[in-house]
Amino acid sequence: MTASSHRAQPPVSAAVVCRRLESLAPLGPASLGLLLCLDDLQTHEAGCELVSERAPHFPSRFLISGWAARVRWLADGRRQILGFLLPGDGIGLCLRPHPLALATTVALTPLVTIDAEPVMRAVGGPAPPEDLAAAMQIASSMDEAALLNQVVRLGRQTAYERMCHLLLELYDRLSDVGLAEDQTFPMPLTQELVSDALGLSVVHVNRILQQLRREGLLDLRTGRASLLDIEQLRDIADYERPQPSRWRSFPGSQPMSEAPA
Amino acid sequence: MTASSHRAQPPVSAAVVCRRLESLAPLGPASLGLLLCLDDLQTHEAGCELVSERAPHFPSRFLISGWAARVRWLADGRRQILGFLLPGDGIGLCLRPHPLALATTVALTPLVTIDAEPVMRAVGGPAPPEDLAAAMQIASSMDEAALLNQVVRLGRQTAYERMCHLLLELYDRLSDVGLAEDQTFPMPLTQELVSDALGLSVVHVNRILQQLRREGLLDLRTGRASLLDIEQLRDIADYERPQPSRWRSFPGSQPMSEAPA
DNA sequence: CGGACTATTGATAACAGTCAACAGTGGTGG
DNA sequence: CCACCACTGTTGACTGTTATCAATAGTCCG
């Protein structure tokens, strides 16, 4: 992992991790304190491999800023992106002592990451803080849910539906950490990366994007995307926003529409 | 869950679960004892829903015999099979107290299952037995690996490659629990189920199977499959057998080909 | 021996891939 | 400041894989 370790003036802080985990389960002051004490901020160049497939050792970190992807290659060079990692997400988190990486993780943009080891030790230790453990487990469930969505997209949706579905997922996930507003979000992916995520050719991705623009559903410029009719996009993609607040059984901080009668 | 609970003459025992977990990490007598004491054997009819998507409560069980699948439906009826569950696999295992199911699990054949709660309590408790916890975590990693394989198949492989890849995966997983020999294994899936797993039409699955037969790579009769040239199938599918024994860092019971020099 | 499901085959159509050329963009160095 | 280069995006023409439709045959089960 080519990275420069420097503690001077962190570009941003672990606040985005707090924001992410709090959107999943309410955190007490002890857990928030633990998160805000995380250190060893690192920057990584675009293109660098954070985790290498089958590597016996790799770091547990949180992504603070920038985008990364989990990737697999076939022998002949075909590439499949398994999923995107966004700010607030974990990288290489695994409770098992010496896991083998199941996929390569690469930086798609310049990144800032922070050490997640203290969190993993707390959660895997003898007396794990209940709130933090709940948040981390829900985060892990959301990772699985994203993977299941990816399977459905690739297996049973048309190119047009896949594109809408992916855009909605990115929008919702970025919203969760406060990086999207007015249906607009940063979009650093090239069409080639999108094509490798959606199992399509670059040319076809380009045509689908043209179509969405013509239909007034999407405004996509360099580095920025706007979803112009989210309701229609949801219909097209058969997409539903995940509601992790409903994945907890105990009462949470966010009021729910269905209150007990 | 429509199921009949009966303790009289279990059709088979939890031995298959022991076999599965021991293939992942060596188990001590205490853990083996715990597994062999599992009870509440249940049978389920083919077609019954063991876990329903978004259900707030669902059982933690091990599959003893028969095949099941995790499934998602789109609004218009398209169906995607996310993965198959084979004897020895867990159903609905989740350490979180009240998780929402991320997908529906259906029985594809008549099933026998056994209660996994004692294992989940032991592993999630204050002093988890190290061997059992390791095996369960490796099992969970293998589940994720299968999901990643499914993404690669659907996203970047041709119909022909997908079919070979799936057949090899089923063969290896059944071998792990002693249900395959001489490159032959039970194959209860209809072509429609295969098509919903591989994201293809039934008609196309049929044609691909014909091709594999013509080429002398596959012998597929009712309920039984033989892989006639595993090496060539591996080349076609770019498939590599997962080696969970290498996923542990501490020395295991199975000798490895690469002994320390 | 009917009925439901599953497998098989042919003909045709649609979706998506490939090839190729060109345009825009941003960075670098002369 | 401009020329150059690499990368990304765009478009057209053509090809190919896979889906759809439809009809028939086989299999299992009651």
Q: Looking at the predicted structure, is the pLDDT value of residue B249 above 60?
A: no
Q: What is the pLDDT of residue A6?
A: 39
A115 confidence band (pLDDT: 50, 70, 90): very high
Q: What is the pLDDT of residue A10?
A: 42
The pair of three-digit structure tokens given for residue A12, joined into one six-digit string: 């941003």
**Closest amino acid to nucleotide D27 (CA–C1'):** B222
Taking residues A196-212, report their average pLDDT: 98
> What contacts B195, CB < 8 A, 6 or more positions away?
B201, B202, B204, B205
Taking residues A175-186, report their average pLDDT: 96
Q: What is the pLDDT of residue B98?
A: 65
CB atoms within 10 A of CB B173: 22
A75: nearest CA partner in chain B: B238
Mean pLDDT of chain A: 89
Q: What is the pLDDT of residue B9?
A: 42
Kindly list the strands in the beta sheet with B49-51, ordered across the sheet, starting from the edge strand earlier in the chain: B49-51, B104-107, B68-73, B79-85
Q: Which span out of A3-7, A51-55, B90-94 was modeled with the highest average pLDDT?
A: B90-94
* Model confidence pLDDT, tens digit, residues B128-139: 899 999 999 999
Q: What is the pLDDT of residue A54?
A: 84
Give, as ranges, the nucleotides of chain C with any atom within 7 Å of a protein CB.
Answer: 5-11, 15-20, 25-26
Q: Domains in chain B, please, with CATH? A: 7-247 (2.60.120.10)
Answer for the pair A67, A108: CB distance below 8 angstroms, yes or no. Answer: yes
Contact: B154, A154; criterion CB under 8 Å = yes
* Model confidence pLDDT, tens digit, residues B3-58: 444 444 445 689 999 999 999 999 999 999 999 999 999 999 999 999 999 887 78
Q: What is the pLDDT of residue A124?
A: 87
Contact: A80, B155; criterion CB under 8 Å = yes
Separation between Cα atoms, residue B211 and residue B206, nearest integer Å: 9
- Report the share of chain A in percent with pLDDT over 70: 88
Distance from CA of A246 to the nearest CA of B (A): 8
A72: nearest CA partner in chain B: B152
3-class DSSP state for residue B241?
coil
Answer for the pair B70, B105: CB distance below 8 angstroms, yes or no. Answer: yes
Q: What is the pLDDT of residue B5?
A: 42
What residues form DSSP beta bridges with A51? A105
Question: Which nucleotide does the CA of A157 lie closest to, via C1'?
Answer: C15
Taking chain A, what is the end-to-end CA distance rounded to the nearest angstrom?
A: 54
Note whether A154 contacts B: Cβ–Cβ < 8 A. yes
Give, in Å, how far the C1' of D8 lies from the CA of A112. Answer: 25
Q: Which long-range contacts (CB under 8 A, 24 or more apart) does B209-215 make?
A: B209/B163, B211/B160, B212/B160, B212/B163, B212/B164
Q: What is the pLDDT of residue A249?
A: 57
Contact: B80, A56; criterion CB under 8 Å = no
A12 confidence band (pLDDT: 50, 70, 90): low
Q: What is the pLDDT of residue B46?
A: 95
A117 confidence band (pLDDT: 50, 70, 90): very high
B 156-175 residues inside an 8 A Cβ radius of A? 156-157
CB contacts, 8 Å: B93 with chain A: none
Answer for the pair B31, B129: CB distance below 8 angstroms, yes or no. Answer: yes
What distances in angstroms separate CA A91 from CA A18, A107, B123, B132, one per listed residue? 15, 11, 24, 25
> What contacts A53, CB < 8 A, 6 or more positions away?
A72, A101, A102, A103, A104
- Report the share of chain B in percent with pLDDT over 70: 89
DSSP chain A: --EEE--SS-SS-THHHHHHHHTTS---HHHHHHHHT----EEE-TT-EEE-TT-S----EEEEES-EEEEEE-TTS-EEEEEEE-TT-EES--SSSSPPPSSEEEESS-EEEEE-HHHHHHHHSSS--HHHHHHHHHHHHHHHHHHHHHHHHHHH--HHHHHHHHHHHHHHHHHHTT--BTTEEEE---HHHHHHHHT--HHHHHHHHHHHHHTTSEEEETEEEEES-HHHHHHHHT-----GGGG-SS--SS--SS---
Greatest alpha-carbon pair distance for chain A in Å reads 59
Which of B97, B134, B156 has the CB atom closest to A96's CB atom? Answer: B134
The residue assigned the tokens 């389960």 is A25
Q: What is the pLDDT of residue B253?
A: 40
Backbone φ and ψ for B176, nearest 5 degrees, come out as -60, -30
- Closest alpha carbon to B169 in B86, B258, B112, B92: B86
Instruction: Count interface pairs A-B at CB distance under 8 A.
Output: 105
Which of A96, A137, A150 has the CB atom closest to B96's CB atom? Answer: A137
Chain A interface, mutation test: which of B152, B195, B205, B256, most A Cβ atoms within 10 Å?
B152
H helices present in B54-157, as ranges: 117-124, 130-156
- Say what angle helices A202-214 and A191-198 make with each other, to 10 degrees: 100
A97: nearest CA partner in chain B: B249
Q: What is the pLDDT of residue B12?
A: 65
The pair of three-digit structure tokens given for residue A230, joined into one six-digit string: 């989210």
CB contacts, 8 Å: A134 with chain B: 96
Note whether B102 contacts A: Cβ–Cβ < 8 A. yes
The residue assigned the tokens 């199977």 is B209
> Position A54: which residue type?
R
Answer for the pair B80, A155: CB distance below 8 angstroms, yes or no. Answer: yes
Q: Looking at the predicted structure, is the pLDDT value of residue A128 above 80?
A: yes
CB contacts, 8 Å: A156 with chain B: 74, 78-80, 199
Give, in Å, how far the C1' of D3 lies from the CA of A180. Answer: 40
Contact: B148, A246; criterion CB under 8 Å = no
Taking residues A206-223, report their average pLDDT: 96
Note whether B204 contacts A: Cβ–Cβ < 8 A. no
Query: Of residues B85 and A256, which shows the higher confidence score?
Result: B85
> Position B187: which residue type?
M
Question: Which nucleotide does the CA of B213 lie closest to, via C1'?
Answer: C8
Mean pLDDT of chain B: 89
Separation between Cα atoms, residue A249 and residue A256, nearest integer Å: 12
The pair of three-digit structure tokens given for residue A117, joined into one six-digit string: 């080891």
Distance from CA of B70 to the nearest CA of A (A): 10
3-class DSSP state for residue B66?
coil
Q: What is the pLDDT of residue A188?
A: 97
Chain A interface, mutation test: which of B151, B152, B198, B240, most A Cβ atoms within 10 Å?
B151
CB contacts, 8 Å: A196 with chain B: 155
* Model confidence pLDDT, tens digit, residues B174-229: 999 999 999 999 999 999 999 999 999 999 999 999 999 999 999 998 899 999 99
Query: Of residues B20 and B246, which shows the higher confidence score?
Result: B20
Give, in Å, how far the C1' of C20 lies from the CA of B236. Answer: 30
Question: Which nucleotide does the CA of A189 lie closest to, via C1'?
Answer: D8
> What contacts A160, CB < 8 A, 6 or more positions away?
A208, A211, A212, A236
Separation between Cα atoms, residue B125 and residue B215, nearest integer Å: 53
- Say what angle helices B29-36 and B130-156 make with each other, to 10 degrees: 70
The pair of three-digit structure tokens given for residue A51, joined into one six-digit string: 């985790």
Note whether A29 contacts B: Cβ–Cβ < 8 A. no
Q: What is the pLDDT of residue A57?
A: 77
Q: What is the pLDDT of residue B33?
A: 95
Separation between Cα atoms, residue B55 and residue A129, nearest integer Å: 26
Distance from CA of A93 to the nearest CA of B (A): 12
Exposed e or buried b per residue across B233-247, where buried means at least 16 C-beta atoms within 10 angstroms of its C-beta: bbebbbbeebebbeb
Q: What is the pLDDT of residue B54?
A: 84
Contact: A134, B96; criterion CB under 8 Å = yes
* Model confidence pLDDT, tens digit, residues A89-106: 999 998 776 678 899 999
Q: What is the pLDDT of residue B97?
A: 67
Report which secondary-structure segment, H or E, holds B161. Answer: helix B159-176
What is the rounded (10 degree) CA torsion for B160, B161, B167, B173?
A: -170
Note whether B82 contacts A: Cβ–Cβ < 8 A. yes
Angle of CA points A56, A57, A63, to nearest 5°: 130
Q: Looking at the predicted structure, is the pLDDT value of residue A67 above 60?
A: yes
